[in-house]
């Protein structure tokens, strides 16, 4: 009997066309029981496009979209997705939303866990048998090589690549390591390897076909510095699990920090009807005639040409439509500054262009 499978795809403002193609490829190649897309800080258009894709059946039935109105980080998004799926499936996996690791390679990684060859399977772009169709930028590639070399000398697990965007493990492994994960960002991959190795789970590296995608949200210098600090912390936590005396003494002198599973941000899960669970979306929320681009475009046109007209007939109805649109969106993070500016302008009786509401200049 084949073990059930759940795949989590973390995404921060992705290319929806590329994401849809990648999901379809995963379903065709692997046929998972569940695919959960963890969407961080989506724009109103992205969120509405996901709703319409689910309503119109453009995404497979196994797909669920969970949205959060902030950028949590890769580690936090994956943790939330695995927490949602771990009780429903036997094997958990993830793949980055850019599709750099093709579905066939993801399937190879998952098969190593399904067949019982290893507890954790991780993809590798730097493995001698890996195929790299397009490389990362010069800076990212060489900084990645240096960092991988450093990790091999700090952790007890020697791999060619610790941060490839595809990994798989059993739900049993996840239940064991989840209370020991703290990193919300890109260092999550390293921490998973370090903690799993501390529990003596077997880790197998799988060479993949890699096709780098431009537009990465990773800053080579800043992210490398954060990863270096996280590497030291992951090594320390792994040693605590191994009951190394020095690390346990150091841990006693520091304040306890809640694990990642204890500080997850609540998500809104969009169902097959396109409506978030427990959220009642007004009937006008998805109407194209009231879309963000139309309303903001008209507002910018009004402010830029400085119409010498009374705002009673132009400005007030226009901003009233803006307020209706903003109020109809469950995710308000991207509109807070515009909403505040609108309210300040209305209360002060002046426009941002230097024109009073009665049409006269200050």
Are the C-beta atoms of 61 and 272 separated by less than 8 Å? Answer: yes
Judgement on whether residues 28 and 168 belong to the same structural domain of the protein: yes
Q: Where are the beta strands (DSSP E) in the chain?
A: 5-12, 34-40, 63-68, 91-95, 120-124, 131-134, 166-170, 203-207, 209-211, 268-270
Least confident interval from 10-14, 133-137, 233-237, 292-296: 292-296
Q: Indicate if the pLDDT at residue 323 is higher than 70.
A: no
Is 158 inside a domain boundary? yes
Is 248 inside a domain boundary? yes
Judgement on whether residues 144 and 181 belong to the same structural domain of the protein: yes
The single-letter DSSP state of residue 2 is P
Residue with the two structure tokens 């500080």? 263
Tell me the C-alpha distance between 41 and 333, whole Å. 8
Q: What is the mean pLDDT of residues 71-75?
A: 91
SS3 of residue 8 by DSSP: strand
Tell me the C-alpha distance between 218 and 321, whole Å. 37
Judgement on whether residues 63 and 175 belong to the same structural domain of the protein: yes
Is 13 inside a domain boundary? yes
Is 276 inside a domain boundary? no
Judgement on whether residues 165 and 41 belong to the same structural domain of the protein: yes
Q: How many domains does the chain divide into?
A: 2
Judgement on whether residues 293 and 246 belong to the same structural domain of the protein: no
Judgement on whether residues 266 and 298 belong to the same structural domain of the protein: no
Are the C-beta atoms of 284 and 328 separated by less than 8 Å? Answer: yes
Return all residues near 132 (Cβ < 8 A) that are at least 6 apart.
Answer: 125, 210, 212
Cβ neighbourhood burial of 233 (10 Å; 0-12, 13-18, 19+):
middle
Tell me the C-alpha distance between 5 and 89, whole Å. 5
Q: Which two tokens stand for residue 37?
A: 């897309």
In sequence order, what are the beta bridge partners of 221?
Answer: none
pLDDT confidence of 216, banded at 50, 70, 90? low
Question: Quick one: which of 212, 1, 216, 210 has its CA closest to 108?
Answer: 210
Judgement on whether residues 295 and 248 belong to the same structural domain of the protein: no
Tell me the C-alpha distance between 56 and 142, whole Å. 44
Judgement on whether residues 162 and 28 belong to the same structural domain of the protein: yes
CATH number where 207 lies: 3.90.550.10
272 or 354: which leads in pLDDT: 272
Judgement on whether residues 186 and 335 belong to the same structural domain of the protein: no
Residue 299 domain boundaries: 288-348
Q: Which two tokens stand for residue 92?
A: 């958990």
Say what the pLDDT of residue 299 is.
Answer: 54
pLDDT confidence of 284, banded at 50, 70, 90? very low
Say what the pLDDT of residue 25 is.
Answer: 95
HEC sequence for 22-77: HHHHHHHHHCCCEEEEEEECCCHHHHHHHHHHHHCCCCCCCEEEEEECCCCCHHHH
Are the C-beta atoms of 105 and 132 separated by less than 8 Å? Answer: no
CA angle 53, 58, 61 (to 5 degrees): 100
Judgement on whether residues 341 and 220 belong to the same structural domain of the protein: no
Is 154 inside a domain boundary? yes
Q: How far is CA 358 from CA 21, 304, 313, 338, in A?
A: 52, 17, 11, 22
Q: Indicate if the pLDDT at residue 314 is higher than 80.
A: no
Say what the pLDDT of residue 319 is.
Answer: 52
């Amino acid at each position: 009997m084949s073990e059930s499978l759940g795949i989590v795809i973390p995404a921060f403002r992705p290319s929806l066309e590329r994401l849809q193609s990648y999901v379809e490829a995963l379903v065709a190649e692997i046929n998972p029981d569940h695919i959960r897309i963890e969407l961080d800080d989506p724009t109103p258009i992205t969120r509405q496009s996901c709703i319409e894709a689910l309503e119109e059946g453009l995404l497979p039935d196994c797909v669920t979209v969970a949205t959060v109105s902030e950028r949590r980080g890769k580690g936090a998004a994956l943790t939330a997705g695995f927490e949602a799926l771990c009780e429903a499936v036997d094997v958990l996996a993830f793949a980055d939303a850019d599709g750099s690791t093709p579905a066939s390679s993801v399937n190879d990684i998952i098969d190593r866990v399904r067949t019982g060859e290893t507890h954790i399977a991780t993809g590798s772009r730097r493995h001698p048998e890996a195929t790299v169709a397009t490389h990362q930028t010069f800076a990212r590639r060489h900084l990645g090589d240096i960092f991988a070399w450093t990790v091999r000398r700090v952790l007890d697990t020697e791999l060619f690549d610790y941060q490839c965007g595809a990994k798989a493990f059993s739900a049993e492994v996840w239940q064991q390591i989840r209370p020991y994960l703290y990193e919300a960002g890109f260092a999550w991959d390293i921490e998973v390897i370090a903690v799993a190795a501390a529990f003596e789970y077997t880790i197998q590296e799988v060479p993949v076909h890699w096709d780098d995608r431009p537009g990465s949200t990773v800053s080579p210098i800043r992210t490398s510095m954060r990863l270096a600090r996280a590497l030291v912390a992951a090594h320390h936590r792994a040693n605590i699990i191994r009951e190394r005396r020095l690390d346990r003494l150091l841990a006693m002198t520091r304040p306890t920090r809640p694990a990642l599973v204890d500080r997850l941000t609540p998500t809104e899960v969009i169902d097959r009807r396109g409506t978030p669970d427990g959220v009642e979306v007004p009937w006008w929320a998805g109407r194209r005639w009231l879309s963000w681009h139309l309303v903001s475009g008209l507002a910018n046109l009004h402010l830029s040409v400085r119409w010498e007209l009374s705002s009673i007939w132009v400005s007030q109805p226009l901003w009233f439509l803006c307020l209706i649109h903003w109020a109809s969106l469950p995710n308000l993070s991207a509109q807070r500054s515009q909403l505040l500016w609108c309210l300040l302008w209305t209360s002060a009786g002046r426009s941002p262009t230097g024109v009073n509401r009665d049409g006269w200049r200050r």
